[in-house]
Structure 1
Amino acid sequence: MSKYNVVAVTTNDYKRQAKQRLPNFLFDYIEGGANAEQTLQANTADFKRYTLRQRVMRDVSAVDTSTTLFGESLSMPLALAPVGMAGLFARRGEVQAARAAEKNGIPFTLSTVAICSSEEVQSATNQPFWFQLYMLRDRALVLDMLHRAAASGCKTLVFTVDLALPGMRLRDYRNGMLGGSTKGKISYLTQLFTRPGWLLDIGILGKPHSLCNLKHKVESASDLDRYKAFVESQFDPSATWKDIAWLRNNWSGNIIIKGIMDADDAKAAVDAGADGIVVSNHGGRQLDGVSSTIDKLPSIANSVGQQTKVLLDGGIHNGVDVVKAIALGADSVLIGRSWVYAMAAQGEAGVNKLLALYQQEIAATMGLMGVSRIEELNSDVIERFNQPFNNPLS
């Protein structure tokens, strides 16, 4: 039997299935990073630099993975990160992911550039979702989306601050997803017709493909080049922490600042009124050559962890990674690519199975470490392994 026909269990299993089902430009859009993708690779690889302490003969008969975050009771310290255009990876993808998150007792974060609107997600779920937003030049548009999110029951805003300029995601140009050349458009169309299942299920039956949170501002919002031009014209490189203070005055709910990679910036976020921060390099999709998020987490958590909630994204593929992040100072983590692979492979059912596995892995890891509660995960149960492994037999 081919290894690609095995039952999907892990993130990598779903990734292989997603690659078989998606047009190449879509798979590369979610899989890729900026420039040479060094930071993308480091986000995953650097988790291996940290090892857990194994403790035995402790009572772990009642391991509890639950936690509380921003007043919400969560089944585990994990949330679904915002992913742009997720509705192109499965039919009405944001709705499917939101339902899976709700079923598994964790938050779902809706992207500004989602296919499904905040109203559509609200109508399909019973629990409030989180909403992700950028600082756009058009402040009236920012306020409009804030009001719509609040009207949809959203109480937590995830504000992304690492997009003053768009990162150089070269895979998107190679695949013809962006750029507008004739050769690129031919490549783009060719890739569509190599995936007839996707073309029918999502390309045709999954319409409309408009970026619903922006469609009243963008003519032909389903045209990726028009969308790119509009969004890039709206990125505000002049934005400063004063704009976050303005945001704080216009949003009564929780504000999480996403895109923090420096302790001084973390302090500035707290001073500007943030209720939480996300240690994030945008999944390696913005500044290539920056450190991995897991390496930056301890210093940032030590700096502001007593004043605000600290979350982390980037490089998390399983429950062991989640445990390492919590032990290094995170209150919770966000996963992005992981849930999109599962959704692209098997829809809502795939996300449900993936999240159930995450919780099982977190519980098993904690138990084998002699830990029963999330609060017991701290620097005492983890250490950094700096030296490369040398095989004496080689």
Structure 2
Amino acid sequence: MSIAVPIKIEDYRELAKKRLPRMVFDYLDGGADEEHSLSHNQVALSSIRLTPKRLLDVSSRTLETELFGKHFAAPLAIAPTGLNGILWPKGDLALARSAAKFNIPFILSTASNSSIETVARCSNGEKWFQLYVLHRTLAQQLVERALNSGYTTLILTTDVAVNGFRERDLRNDFGIPVKYTPKVILDGCLHPRWSMALLKHGVPELANFKTADASDTELQAALLSRQMDASFDWQALRWLRELWPHTLLVKGIIHPDDAVRCISEGADGVILSNHGGRQLDTCVAPIETLAQSVAATDKPILIDSGFRRGTDIVKAIAMGAKGVLLGRALLYGLAARGEAGVDHSLSMILADIDRTLANVGCPSTSALTPDYIKSPF
């Protein structure tokens, strides 16, 4: 069936699948191992039921929210995702511009195809930077660059001690730079719109690594291997806290005890995440530990992994999350139609949140409470 006008995120997923070569779509769509975590994230969200309240005035509704002392149009942010340039030329810039238009934060990944400085120049919206620690020297360089470029929030990702076993990527021999095997070339020929864009704009690079000190052989070895610093611990978190003078969030947290410890070590909040099911298979969904984490600390708890609809977001906010990060839900739109696809995807999700608020009898996202849901967790 041809999808002329997408009406839900799954429609954009189908359009992305048609436009992208298989290896690229699998990179976007896939998860770790048997992909149980990938599917369970959405199953867990579906298991929470809404409990509407009636005979309340919901003729006027708002999604506006305050987070870390700033005003945003909705309790959303665009999640940090790597290699967006292989989905659409200058994909990071498209996402950043879309976030600015909708007045929500954009989070740039360490593994982006546009540099920290380029994104800062090309977007006037709220910009946060996500840090992977491959090497302490490189991490310090990236933090200083983000600080000097006006990024307001630093996000440390903690759930990639080693790279997840992504079977789809391994079977496709996916990587950057792309390996031009006969199979890959044939797949590219069968997806001419994607291939023409790649030929026109060139193969995307990991832009934030291009300026690393070439004289530091240990640093270069870390970059070439793309291996994370598995020794990064609580003491290292304190070191990072000293480096960064603004808002610091820790991402990849699942256990409520870890959320409490992050706050005690100086973090301003945490992001519950299982990396969208891309790192550890059969892992609990972040939504399953949200209520416990919220109860354990008075600092903001944000969340990602598996969110596709406005109803999902309403459930998380009702359970106490201060914001939801959207990854694949917007990347499908990016891969299908670029910035216009991201804009439309965000518009659909915002409309879905608004519609859900009306139908559950709540005038604003800030007024949502656990009374509006029935959760098995």
Question: TM-score, normalising length from structure 1?
Answer: 0.90
Please, which moves more after superposition, 78-87 or 122-131?
Answer: 122-131
Equivalent position amino acid for 2:170 in 1: Y
- SS of residue matched to 2:209: coil
| Partner of residue 348, structure 2 | 357
| Partner of residue 34, structure 2 | 36
| Partner of residue 218, structure 2 | none
| Partner of residue 13, structure 1 | 11
8 Å contact from structure 1 (residues 24, 191) kept in 2: yes
How does 1:1-394 map onto structure 2 within 5 Å? 2=1, 4-136=2-134, 138-178=135-175, 185-201=181-197, 203-207=198-202, 209-217=204-212, 229-232=224-227, 235-304=228-297, 306=298, 308-384=299-375
Distance 1:321 1:241 in 2: 32
| Partner of residue 392, structure 1 | none
| Partner of residue 391, structure 1 | none
Please, which moves more after superposition, 101-110 or 349-358?
Answer: 349-358
8 Å contact from structure 2 (residues 303, 321) kept in 1: yes
Equivalent position amino acid for 1:362 in 2: I
- SS of residue matched to 2:294: helix
8 Å contact from structure 2 (residues 63, 366) kept in 1: no
Distance 2:133 2:29 in 1: 25
Please, which moves more after superposition, 12-21 or 51-60?
Answer: 51-60
Name segments (4+ residues, structure 1) moved above 6 Å. 179-182
By how many angstroms is 1:206 displaced? Answer: 2.4
Equivalent position amino acid for 2:349 in 1: Y
Superposition RMSD on alpha carbons, in Å? 2.1
Q: In the superposition, relative to structure 1, how do residues 340 and 227 fare at CA in structure 2: closer, same or farther (>3 Å)?
A: farther
8 Å contact from structure 1 (residues 111, 132) kept in 2: yes
By how many angstroms is 1:176 displaced? Answer: 1.7
8 Å contact from structure 2 (residues 49, 374) kept in 1: yes
By how many angstroms is 1:380 displaced? Answer: 1.1
By how many angstroms is 1:216 displaced? Answer: 2.8
Equivalences, count = 371
Q: Flag structure 1 segments of 5+ consecutive residues without an equivalent.
A: 220-225, 387-394
- SS of residue matched to 1:205: helix
Distance 2:368 2:213 in 1: 46
Distance 1:298 1:261 in 2: 11
Distance 1:210 1:119 in 2: 15
- SS of residue matched to 2:77: strand
8 Å contact from structure 2 (residues 31, 278) kept in 1: yes
Q: In the superposition, relative to structure 1, how do residues 181 and 363 fare at CA in structure 2: closer, same or farther (>3 Å)?
A: closer
- Could you give the per-residue CA deviations for residues 319-363 of structure 1, whole angstroms, max 9, x where no partner exists? 111000111121100010011100111111111111111111111
Distance 1:208 1:100 in 2: 23
Distance 1:101 1:311 in 2: 17
By how many angstroms is 1:268 displaced? Answer: 1.1
Distance 1:191 1:228 in 2: 29
By how many angstroms is 1:177 displaced? Answer: 0.8
- SS of residue matched to 1:299: helix
- SS of residue matched to 1:257: strand
Q: In the superposition, relative to structure 1, how do residues 179 and 351 fare at CA in structure 2: closer, same or farther (>3 Å)?
A: closer
By how many angstroms is 1:244 displaced? Answer: 0.7
By how many angstroms is 1:210 displaced? Answer: 1.5
By how many angstroms is 1:218 displaced? Answer: 9.4
Equivalent position amino acid for 1:210 in 2: E
Q: Flag structure 2 segments of 5+ consecutive residues without an equivalent.
A: 215-220
8 Å contact from structure 1 (residues 173, 179) kept in 2: no
| Partner of residue 217, structure 2 | none
8 Å contact from structure 2 (residues 99, 125) kept in 1: no
